[in-house]
Amino acid sequence: MAKIAAALLALLAGIAASRWRRRTHPARTVIVSPRGSTVIAADGAVRSTQTAHLSLPQEQLQRLWTPANLENLGSTYWRFLSRATFGLVRVMYRQHDRSVVLLARPLTLLRFDAPVYELERDHGKISWRIRDGLLVSRANTGSGGLSLEVRKLDGEHDPATLMIRVEVANFYPAIASGLGTAVYEATQAFVHVLVTHAFLRSLASLNLVESRVRRFPH
């Protein structure tokens, strides 16, 4: 099941991401991830770090730089993932976890703990610990996590510059343990990078989805 799900997601997400085109936006995004931004350790643990610089007007930065919009950024990521898979992938919210499902439970691809937020004057970060799911190696459930980080690089000038980073760390993919790392790199890892870059570029629109959970005042 994990292999079928991974292959299907690879196909759909690859098609959707390839259709993404640059449009006129109030901000500008530049992908700055180096080659080799996805690394697989000897024990099979995956680390993938995708980074972009977002240049935007100072007035827009002042409007967006709030705890609520950090939460909204996370919601925007999940919506983009759903759209990139034509709605086949959905996020199910519960009090103590988040599940990324293929259509509906019990086809849970990934299950996360509730997000943890870090809020500082010039830095914000959302982290989700990965519990389990069809895309996770059964021998390594409870390992790894996903994080979304924003940092002011130049918040005093106009335009301002933000660093935005999406990172998966210490993740053990089921497809790699079943079919080998070469297959994982050619399919799931490739599509993850493709879709994440498309998500980072989409942030140039400065349109964030309002969180359903509303942990912070909106």
What pLDDT score does 67 carry?
Answer: 96
| Domains contained in the chain, CATH given | 2-205 (3.30.530)
What's the predicted TM-score (pTM) here? 0.87
pLDDT-derived band at 50 (thresholds 50, 70, 90) equals very high
pLDDT digits (tens, 9 = 90+) for 155-177: 778 899 999 999 999 999 998 87
pLDDT over 90 at 119, yes or no: yes
DSSP string, 95-147: SSEEEEEESSTT-EEEEEEPPEEEE-SSEEEEEEEEEE-TTB-GGGTT--EEE
